[in-house]
Amino acid sequence: MRVLLQRVREARVTIDGRVTGEIGPGLMILVCAMQGDTEAAADRLATRIAKLRIFRDPEGKMNLSIRDTGGAALVVSQFTLAADTSRGNRPGFSTAAPPDEGRRLYDYFSERLRAEGIPVANGEFGADMDVSLINQGPVTIWMEA
């Protein structure tokens, strides 16, 4: 699995003018299930993300986790994280998991974050979404499992 984390002051997903997911301070998590990914990969990422110390402590150092701060996560499916841009001008996405498996792992990953004690809001798998956020820092981190 691939994820792109953004530390945010707030984030929101809107579909056709309807807010489907919204958080205050925390993490915007774009997630892509890749071919061959398993629940074990989602487990590893959820555990790592819950413990990742990328939030500021009182001295201003990145020393706190999302758990420590009581932040939330907005999890959005993002198959384009599988983009292969090594040839030509059009990215290929053949390494992304098939849609049914991608949806299953996306839902599973969201549940694993909840099990880690993180409040989770979601986008809608496969939908054309408008995503807005205020990236704090900015802090943006790429992770794979």
pLDDT in tens, 58-67: 999 999 999 9
pTM: 0.94
Using DSSP's 3-state secondary structure scheme, residue 56 falls into strand
Determine the Cα–Cα distance for residues 53 and 127; give it in Å rounded to an integer.
31
Catalytic residue among 35, 80, 93, 140: 80
Delineate the domains of the chain, giving CATH numbers in brackets: 2-86+100-136 (3.50.80.10)
Measured between alpha carbons, how far is 133 from 48 in angstroms, rounded to an integer? 22
125 annotated active-site: no
Annotation marks residue 78 as catalytic? yes
Catalytic residue flag (residue 79): yes
Active-site option among 6, 55, 79, 109 = 79
Q: CA 102, CA 76: separation in Å to the nearest integer? A: 12
pLDDT beneath 70, residues of the chain: none
Q: Can you give 116-129 as a three-state secondary structure string? A: CCCCEEECCCCCCC
